[in-house]
Amino acid sequence: MSLNSPIFLKRSEENNSKFVETKQSQTTSIASEDPLQNLCLASQEVLQKAQQSGRSKCLRCGGSRMFYCYTCYVPVENVPIEQIPLVKLPLKIDIIKHPNETDGKSTAIHAKLLAPEFVNIYTYPCIPEYEEKDHEVALVFPGPQSISIKDISFHLQKRIQNNVRGKNDDPDKPSFKRKRTEEQQFCDLNDSKCKGTPLKKIIFIDSTWNQTNKIFTDERLQGLLQVELKTRKTCFWRHQKGKPDTFLSTIEAIYYFLVDYHTDILKEKYRGQYDNLLFFYSFMYQLIKNAKCSGDKETAKLTH
């Protein structure tokens, strides 16, 4: 079934919310020892049944997969698309995937499956042009130039103002006209009229940490505002050897960014609006955790 089919695109919030289980708040969830245990998730019964029945066929390419096709970005035959939650996001997300990143092991695909209208995945060296939109785009990547999420609006507003100044800096235009244009288009950062968030798109790099430098140093990403996430521990079962447990999987990074964006930028109380981004991830995590405890080989079914 196509991702563009009416059934898929019209999965409304009502259809999504009927599965939602009322649990503890996200604040409690993040603070707990297991940050995935108190999520407000859609029913995962469909995944439980699919896991019991084993691999199934992708209706688009015919490949044999578990849960979803990582090539076509669609659920497989034994996972009805109408039983997969649809997540509405406050902004667009671009994911730049390293060509050596194994598709079947990438969690970036979860975001595309669960928020298809908001997420695009590009395989490097294919990268969109962001130069003309650097005042409304940011890149999530740690470094000395990175800022915190709460400061995004401030720094993007400064870019907008600098762009306005540059456009109005016309030596052939009389000075009084330049001044008037600036007064019309330029406003103080503390002015309530300028407040809000100019951010429209956030970029993530999907790669092992050892491979990120090749993408990060690409000239098409240079000059973009860099954002660093708050420190959190990963639950990823494919932890990168020699790396600290604060190195998150791609879907974790997307999820935590949106949670902080919701509270720090939108200034709204978080009530689990993006928890279903971890719909597949949390199920796989629990399945693998249980398999390790029991010593069985269920984890093999999740290697796609």
* Domain segments of the chain as ranges: 40-84, 87-162+197-295
Name which residue leads in pLDDT, 147 or 179.
147
User: Any residues with CB less than 8 A from the CB of 144 and at least 6 apart, and which?
Assistant: none
- Whether the full predicted model's pTM is greater than 0.95, yes or no, is no
The tokens describing 77, both together, are 């035959």
- pLDDT bin (cut points 50, 70, 90) of residue 102 is confident
pLDDT at 62 over 70: yes
For the chain, strand residue ranges (E) read: 56-57, 64-65, 68-69, 74-75, 92-97, 119-123, 137-140, 201-206, 225-227
The pLDDT score that the predictor gives to residue 165 is 66
- pLDDT bin (cut points 50, 70, 90) of residue 173 is low
- pLDDT bin (cut points 50, 70, 90) of residue 65 is very high
